Amino acid sequence: MRINPDKCVACGNCTYVCPVGAIYIDPGIRRATVNLDACVECYTCYNGLSQEHLNPTFVRTVRKVFQAFRLRFDPEPDVCPTGAFEPEELKWPRTVRRAFSDPRVPHESTGVHGRGTEEVKTNDVSGRVGIGETGFTIEFGRPGVGASFKDIQTMCWALAKVGVAFEKRNPVTSLMSDVATGTIREDIMNERVLSAIVEIKVPAERTEEIIRLVWDVEKGIDTVIALGVGTRCDENGEDHVVEPILERLGYHPQRAKTNIGLGRAAQAALLEKT
Amino acid sequence: MTNTLHRFGPAESFADDYVVFAMCARGKNDQGALPKLKKFLEMAVPFKPVNLGDASHGGALRPSRQMNPLAHWNRDITLDFQTVINGLDTLTTVAAVFDSRPTAEEFVKAVKAADLGLSINISTSVEGAEQCCFAAGIPRHSVGYSLGFEGKTEKLPSDDVLMLATMCGHGMVSHSLAKKMIDWVKEGRRTPEQAASYMTRFCSCGVFNPARAARVLRQAGQGKQEYR
């Protein structure tokens, strides 16, 4: 992302809306500027700010007049008055940043939509996580901190070492040069993303082992992790398998997404299954 | 995506936060699913959701590419559900956000009766979703728990800021903007509802809950810390 210095009037609105704090007012040129090392190409500035397309010279003049009289205009905080943001064409490996950070675009680099997959959200149709199984989503950099693939790599190596299988259609998995060892391709190691999700599935009896492994590895990772655990309920809609394990480990889940089981496969998919 | 799962706050703070969303499974039931997704959105409107959205185009309050400069003095914060419904043109996740359990329960009952064949999920407190299922006479099929945030949590902002910013799970609502809105409400520069509307526009899939945000802003503005 680039901010056109000829258009920017340094109102500062964009410095607040950047999720990773990559936009700053450069005192040398008195314009908002993007720190490209920190920018994760999420396009929040470009997509989220409303645009007015005012004449920059006019806006700067008005601001100077107001400044002279110690007056302050109280504008809307989600507006770029001159439409100064100009997306740049991204090249590999920088395309990875946008693929993992801007939810509006499909993963051009990976061929998979979104940062993760359908997880248990379509479990009633896909049967992806069965009774007695635990699906994990280990999300790096969320909320609002960001992550580098070096952080993710550390966790993937540790998970691979204990023999877990990575979800095949997951964007992180698709960027591994060796899925068996959890090795992510070298040329994206320096790329930062807003967040990325590693997905695995294990038998429920390994739930505690995996959580303890995550606890151990996260100590050496320089970002936050949002941990999610999914499971299939029994015929009464109860989970007597995974939740007790979580409680025993000191988790008291406050929030969940609950698949209520109204989905069904279309006829063709059912025939294929049989 | 886990874009509604990791909202920050105790279970009580989700009493006005029920996200009901529908999606199809790739290769399983996606053929002919678009009209069903649209039907889901249309069905939600009579239940007066506080937001409605699709993950490709956004919610019921969107940024403008050509904003009228006079809008600074008279910004429209009316939710535009029809734009969401009319704009749905691709297979994606669609969501309706409600600010009360009775309303969410009635909507889930209606969705069950409509028999769309899509996967329907409720994202709220564990108990809140259980109660919705019970009211509709549906046993839970699967559940995905949020275990919260771990690792370098010292990098995270205050609880109030987290409660606001995590309502966009994709991270499009920045911590800085949430903090700024809390400050503006404290200073009386904007109402909680106005401040919430600014953040709502940044959520690119329409799951941000402006009603809960306004409540959190109001409480934060009064110096009431809700959590920890």
Is A31 part of a structural domain of the chain? yes
In tens, the pLDDT along B145-187 reads: 999 999 999 999 999 999 999 999 899 999 999 999 999 999 9
Q: B117 vs A264: CB contact, 8 Å cut-off?
A: yes
pLDDT band at B225 (very low <50, low <70, confident <90, very high): low
Same domain assignment for residues A151 and A63: no
Same domain assignment for residues A75 and A134: no
Tokens of B76: 């429209």
Same domain assignment for residues A217 and A139: yes
Question: What's the CA dihedral at A107, A111, A116, A118 to 10 degrees?
Answer: 130
Tokens of B136: 């509709």
Nearest residue of A to residue B181, measured between CA atoms: A77
pLDDT at A106: 72
Nearest residue of A to residue B139, measured between CA atoms: A237
Same domain assignment for residues A43 and A178: no
Nearest alpha-carbon partner for B103 in B1, B185, B209: B209
Q: Which domain holds residue A187?
A: 107-273
Is B2 part of a structural domain of the chain? no
- Out of A49, A75, A251, the one facing B147 most closely (by C-beta) is A251
Give the best residue of A79, A115, A255 to mutate against chain B (max B CB count within 10 A).
A255
pLDDT at A35: 97
pLDDT at B222: 85
In tens, the pLDDT along B76-126 reads: 999 999 999 999 999 999 999 999 999 999 999 999 999 999 999 999 999
pLDDT at B1: 47
Is B6 part of a structural domain of the chain? no
Same domain assignment for residues A53 and A149: no
Number of domains in chain A: 2
State how far Cα A260 lies from the chain centre. 25
Tell me, what amino acid is at A47? N
Q: What is the pTM of this model?
A: 0.95
Residue ending a domain, among A57, A88, A119, is A88
Residue ending a domain, among A54, A88, A122, is A88
Q: How far apart are CA A251 and CA B93, in angstroms?
A: 29
Number of domains in chain B: 1
Query: Which residues of chain B lie closer than 8 angstroms to A72, CB-CB?
Result: none
Residue ending a domain, among A58, A88, A118, is A88
Q: CB of B155 within 8 Å of any CB in chain A?
A: yes
Q: CB of B228 within 8 Å of any CB in chain A?
A: no
| Whether complex ipTM tops 0.85 | yes
Q: CB of B161 within 8 Å of any CB in chain A?
A: no
Contacts A–B by Cβ distance under 8 A: 335
Q: CB of B186 within 8 Å of any CB in chain A?
A: no
Q: B117 vs A50: CB contact, 8 Å cut-off?
A: no
Which residues, other chains included, contact B107 with Cβ-Cβ below 8 Å and sequence gap of 6+?
A: B20, B43, B44, B47, B96, B98
pLDDT at A110: 47
Q: Are B5 and A258 in contact (CB under 8 A)?
A: no
Instruction: Count Cβ atoms below 10 Å from residue A193 Cβ, excluding itself.
Output: 27
Residue B47 has pLDDT above 50, yes or no: yes
Q: A260 vs B32: CB contact, 8 Å cut-off?
A: no
Instruction: Count Cβ atoms below 10 Å from residue B5 Cβ, excluding itself.
Output: 26
Q: Are B19 and B97 in contact (CB under 8 A)?
A: yes
CB proximity under 8 Å: B 207-226 to A: none
pLDDT at B26: 85
Same domain assignment for residues A29 and A70: yes
Is B49 part of a structural domain of the chain? yes
Is A100 part of a structural domain of the chain? no
In tens, the pLDDT along B48-73 reads: 999 999 999 999 999 999 999 999 99
- pLDDT beneath 50: ranges in chain A: 110-111
Which CATH number covers residue A69?
3.30.70.20
Q: CB of B143 within 8 Å of any CB in chain A?
A: yes
Q: What average pLDDT does chain B have? A: 94
Q: How far apart are CA B176 and CA A43, in angstroms?
A: 16
Q: Which domain holds residue B22?
A: 11-221
